[in-house]
Amino acid sequence: MKSLLEQVASLPLSVKLASAILGILVFHPVFRLLETILPRHFERADARYRVRKFVVFVGYIVAILFLVVLFEDRLRQLSLALGLAGAAIVVSLQDSIASLAGWFAIGFSKLYTVGDRIQIGETKGDVIDISILRTTLMETGNGVSADLYNGRIARIPNSSILKAPVFNYSHGFRFVWDEIKVPLTTQSDHRFAAEMLLRVAEETVAHFMTEAMSVWKEVTDNFRIANPRLEPIVAFVVNEKCLEFTVSYIVDYTERIAMKNQLFTKIVEEITKSSGRLHWAASSAAAPNQATAAGRAVPGPEWSPSRRP
């Protein structure tokens, strides 16, 4: 092995350059072919993704080792010059170095993985790739409903996780608190309305409440955190134009739109068959704010199973 390295070191520079070019031309198609063929032997999409990333990583390592062995003697001669220029290199590459540090932080702390829905700063979406320098997201929101893809692919430097807050919707407690507003006329039976809304909310979210409670218990075991109410809550405010009910509930972050659709569908059906006890109010988007500003908003009671009449 030592003799082989000595023979390589003795080669003329022109031969080494030609060998380097030839080696890269051989390595590149070989590893591209492996990157295409090997993932086909795995059924799961996440496994195929990991195999592709592993092949790319090995390809870079092999190419770097090949060049290091080939130009080992030249690198020794350049070491002094590189040491003197090190400070300048660090300054010019500080963003890349910070992104590399961010990549290590993402990997070792498991901040997020491919497939997670995250938000970094103001950008939110599903992680579709994590490279050494950038995290790639399929963006959601920003012109469309918050849970839908908008068609844009966002590439965020990994250094951003060292500077901006990172929100992960997929790890830990994958449920979020959401709410809908139901405006009814002031002639509506407010007790009947509150009881109906609470019943509809409980029936609609019942299929994942057990899982949500179990997951929340794990969160409270690992972190010092309060135990909020997970069951739906109904509250309302009274203003001069309507009764505005707010239905608060928890929902899996992937089902927010579907959950709102189910809730409003059932609420419309319930109001229709209320025998005139409930009536939809005109749009109250501006009324509560105006009433509050004028000091006329009157908060109603918070409704929960324990406070049913």
In a shared domain, residues 298 and 183: yes
Cα 204 to Cα 199, 245, 265, 268, 304, distances in angstroms: 9, 17, 11, 14, 15
DSSP for 98-127, please give it.
HHHHHHHHHHHHT---TT-EEEETTEEEEE
Residue 140 near residue 147, CB atoms below 8 Å: yes
Average pLDDT, the chain: 80
In a shared domain, residues 124 and 232: no
In a shared domain, residues 303 and 184: yes
The structural domain count of the chain equals 3
Question: Does 99 map to a domain?
Answer: no
Question: Amino acid identity of 76?
Answer: R
pLDDT digits (tens, 9 = 90+) for 92-134: 667 788 888 888 888 888 889 888 999 998 899 999 999 888 9
In a shared domain, residues 134 and 191: no
Range of the domain at 26: 2-92
**Of 117, 152, 168, at which residue does a domain stop?**
168
> Strand (E) positions, 42-174?
117-120, 123-130, 134-140, 149-157, 166-168
pLDDT digits (tens, 9 = 90+) for 141-183: 888 877 888 989 999 999 999 888 999 988 878 888 999 999 9
In a shared domain, residues 11 and 132: no
pLDDT of the residue at 17: 80
In a shared domain, residues 81 and 154: no
Question: Does 159 map to a domain?
Answer: yes
Q: pTM (2 decimals)?
A: 0.63
DSSP for 176-196, please give it.
EEEEEEEEE-TTS-HHHHHHH
Question: Does 212 map to a domain?
Answer: yes
CATH code for the domain of 118: 2.30.30.60
Confidence of residue 51 (pLDDT cuts 50, 70, 90): confident
Question: Does 97 map to a domain?
Answer: no
CA distance 53 to 176: 32
* Ranges 23-27, 182-186, 221-225, 227-231: which has the least confidence: 221-225
* Residues present in the chain in total: 309
In a shared domain, residues 58 and 76: yes
In a shared domain, residues 192 and 284: yes
In a shared domain, residues 130 and 43: no
Question: Does 14 map to a domain?
Answer: yes
CATH code for the domain of 217: 3.30.70.100
In a shared domain, residues 55 and 26: yes
